[in-house]
A and B are shown apart, each in its own frame.
Chain A
């Protein structure tokens, strides 16, 4: 029974998207290991798992850290489909990275055919406020448009790092719970039917 419990430990699959160099890996590593890596080494793709306590409930988080500068968007389709929640990251010091978020959003919506997928717009590098190019209001408007939260983070200072992951996991859990209820209803109704 114990083993069963372990295997049934809820697994929340989070995917990091965003242009290259906005700090997706930095956020992930900060969240996973509490480290900040200063030097930039473009990621190919990596996946991390960690056991976490979410609202007094033990669960596992699976983070798929993707490469930002892939030539062909289509190769992401597959892993987008495996994602249960997305952190769409841009750098507040680079307006182009903010513009690109629209592309990522569009692709996710298209691949998943679902606008209600757990999604958070993340403005990273908030510690570089002095060279800010994207205003908070601007980003906020975009988030409002997409119906998702907007959070500013700093992988360097760990500001809001835990918060974005936790918030996303909550959304994922809520969504899963809703689906479970739906399934149960269906099953029950079937039973009733039978």
Chain B
């Protein structure tokens, strides 16, 4: 074996490089500190696991992952110190071809465990687990064996270390004379084999083994549960194993004693304590390692120094921060101050502008005042300049300052000054306008050319005044706004000045108009006005009714028509046509010139204005009223035409703002209505009076004859599409109704006036009058289509028919009275007797009586009676109403009816008597025809 060793070149190289002295002469003790002797070496591949800890229960899997390994070639050297006999394990690497360098060194006691993984590879755990693989199994085994041999104190864990290795070790120990450890181990084992069997159950043993073997890994008791026992098995039959076990058992026993553990103790608690112990050991280990390094202190010193430096710097930095913070505050303060300054500047600029504006608005150059004081008010340019100046003054006065500004002394002073100027100018303007009004009014008053002219009937407008004053319109507004009181005074002044002109001119105009009106004679009026007709009649009592007045002429035609003269109603229309535009214009001018609002609620001022107007209105009203009175003096119906005219204009203007005009017209209208009412009342009186004054109660009564013409006359004044919408229509309708009612009442009263109605002749007269008059009324009034009269037309017709029937019967009663009375008696009797045949039993109506009555009326008598009746009817009905034929027809029919009735009654009451009237229907018709031929 030595030969082999000598022959090994690697070994020579190692020795030469690392153990050169001791290799050549191991016995020379005087060698340097490196008096170490190489025991054995092993060339291995060191496998690392990428920083992953090779320990732990996942180790087998990690080991199998060989592909991940980064292998390094290393030499494991086992050396022994010659002096101390300390065996150490070195890990070296080969530098170049000959030189070796030791990387790590462990005392042999530090080897915690050795585990064989496969023939070449094994794990060795010191402070760290290394995985090394040898090139050959034999070399590995030899090396492990040598480690094993050199262990003296403490044997590392041997896992899966085959007995062949141990066997190899056996002979060598003798060779080396180094058997004590082996013997100790063997003795331990034998001792253990004898003793341990009863005390240590296998399971505990195994678990303990596992504990040791697994180092820090979490032990599991179940792992050792019987089935997995090849490792144990390996040891079991082996002597090595026995020795080893003994050693470990001794260790365990000591350990357990240390931990105060009894067999009955808690395994888990023990386990914990073991783990704690291990951790403490580890910490101590690390501490020992760290402590052992001198550089650490240096590093710590350096670190302390650095920390001190940093603290120092930190102090400085804190100082700087504080400094900077205080500076930041300063800067902030300065900035805010800066902003404040900016705002202040802006405010001051604004204030300046405001003051500028204020000064500008309240400052008025002196020339403005000069203009106000001295500029010519008569020229348009002058007025314009003054207006501008006044506007500036007003603007200054009315500048809307707030309270504070108004309190400013400068402003106050200015305002006072301007008020003074304003007042002065107001005075000047007032005086000037007053003078202008007077002057213009005087001009108009004295203008001879404006007087009434023969050819033109008109009132000239006041354009000259308007033209002259219009230029002051703006100043008037100024006045109104600045000095309303004086403005008001001006208005009354104006009205005062202008009113007399209107008064004069309208008076002149009316006078002129009056002279142009035609006059109506009472005689003409009598053809359609009841009162006039009755007046004439009472004076010419000799004349027959209906002969007064000229019925052939239309009732509105004037005798002197065509002479350029006007009927008053037309004249009135003309006046309105002339005056209304003037009034409208004047109102427009006044409201325009004085800027009077026509709309909206009336203020106190407005009421005053109206008062001003009223004085003028009174004049106009009086003038118009006078004219109306004059126009209606001879012809009251003119009031209807005037009413229509007034209503027409009221209707036209009532929706406009011409309040003054509408008021005026309304007032005048009242006067017209009064006149018409009075007139209507007169007519009613005249109609009622007719029954007293009437002489001949025959034919058409005068008022019935007049009424259609009366209507015609009034409707003539009511022409125009608009009329039915006007109030005048209602007024007139009411008057119609009143008249018609009165007429009907009077007619009846007249008809029934004298004598008893029992008188046959009187009765005939009543019927004649009624039927003729009613017939006249309804046939005539139908023509006029006055809707309000329709009920009266119907009434008249019914009345006519009633009286016609009564008349016919009454006429026949004279010749045939006896016959008619006889049959009337039978008719009465028929109602009281049970059967018609019983009539004949009454003495008065016996068959003989009947025969007697009938015999009294032979055909000849009938014919004679008809002749006399016809003459009578002919006498009653003049051709005037053309009713003769109608009445005669009615009489014939009545007679035929009688014949029919009588015959029927004879057949009914006197059946089978073979009695009949002595005249037949045919006889009657023959008489009628004969009568017709004779007349």
Contacts and interface: CB of A to CB of B under 8 A. Distances in A.
Highest count of chain A CB atoms <10 Å: which of B547, B550, B879, B889: B889
B921 interface: yes
Interface string B881-908: 1111110111011001000000000000
Nearest to A9: B552
Contact of B782 (A9, A33, A44, A73): A33
Contact of B932 (A6, A44, A77): A77
A79 B929 contact: no
B933 interface: yes
B783 A75 contact: no
B547 A3 contact: yes
A150 interface: no
A53 interface: no
A62 B886 CA distance: 12
Contacts of B229: none
A179 B825 CA distance: 53
A102 B928 CA distance: 22
B926 A81 contact: no
Nearest to A76: B889
A82 B885 contact: yes
5 contacts: A45-B885, A45-B889, A47-B883, A78-B931, A81-B935
Given A6-B551, A47-B886, A81-B935, A75 B779 contact: no
Contacts of B884: 82
Contact of A6 (B552, B896, B935): B552
A79 B552 contact: no
Contacts of B924: 72, 74
Given A47-B883, A49-B882, A64-B885, A78 B928 contact: yes
B785 interface: yes
A79 B783 contact: no
A75 B886 contact: no
Contact of A79 (B547, B889, B921, B925): B889
A78 B932 contact: yes
Given A6-B552, A75-B896, A45 B932 contact: no
B929 A74 contact: yes
A111 to B, nearest CB: 7
A45 B925 contact: no
A119 interface: no
Contacts of B882: 13, 47, 49, 62, 64
Interface in A1-45: 2-3, 5-6, 9, 11, 13, 32-33, 35, 44-45
A76 B896 CA distance: 13
B886 A64 contact: yes
Given A49-B779, A72-B924, 15 more contacts: A33-B782, A44-B889, A45-B885, A47-B881, A47-B882, A64-B882, A64-B885, A71-B896, A72-B925, A73-B925, A74-B924, A74-B926, A76-B889, A81-B935, A111-B929
Interface of B is mostly: helix
Interface size class of B (residues with CB under 8 A): 20 to 34
A93 interface: no
A72 B935 contact: no
Question: Which 6 pairs between the two chains have the least Cβ-Cβ distance?
Answer: A74-B925, A77-B932, A78-B932, A79-B885, A75-B892, A77-B929
Contacts of B896: 71-72, 75
A71 B922 CA distance: 12
A9 B889 CA distance: 26
Highest count of chain B CB atoms <10 Å: which of A32, A35, A58, A81: A81
Contact of B933 (A66, A81, A82): A81
Given A2-B550, A111-B932, A47 B885 contact: yes
Contact of A81 (B775, B881, B932): B932
Nearest to B780: A49
B928 A79 contact: no
B929 A33 contact: no
Contacts of B779: 32, 48-49
Contacts of B933: 77, 81, 111
A5 B885 contact: no
Interface string A121-159: 000000000000000000000000000000000000000
Contact of B783 (A33, A46, A70, A82): A33
Interface in B88-113: none
Contacts of B550: 2-3, 6
B481 to A, nearest CB: 65
Contacts of B926: 74
Interface of A: 2-3, 5-6, 9, 11, 13, 32-33, 35, 44-50, 58, 62, 64, 66, 70-82, 111
Contacts of B547: 3
Interface string B912-935: 000000000100111011011101
Contacts of A3: 547, 550
Highest count of chain B CB atoms <10 Å: which of A3, A72, A75, A80: A75
B890 A44 contact: yes
B932 A66 contact: no
B888 A78 contact: yes
B419 to A, nearest CB: 78
A75 B785 contact: no
Highest count of chain B CB atoms <10 Å: which of A45, A74, A76, A79: A74
Given A2-B550, A2-B552, A66 B889 contact: yes
A70 B892 CA distance: 11
A76 B885 CA distance: 9
Contacts of B921: 72
Contacts of A49: 779, 881-882
Given A3-B547, A75-B892, A80 B932 contact: yes
A2 B552 CA distance: 8
A140 B198 CA distance: 170
A45 B896 CA distance: 16
A75 B782 contact: no
B552 A78 contact: no
Contacts of A72: 896, 921, 924-925, 928
Contacts of A75: 889, 892-893, 896, 925, 928
Nearest to A3: B547
Contacts of B782: 32-33, 35
Contacts of A45: 885-886, 889-890
Highest count of chain B CB atoms <10 Å: which of A9, A71, A78, A81: A78
Contacts of A74: 924-926, 928-929
Nearest to A64: B885
A94 B725 CA distance: 46
A86 B140 CA distance: 173
A80 B882 CA distance: 14
Interface string B768-786: 0000000100010011010
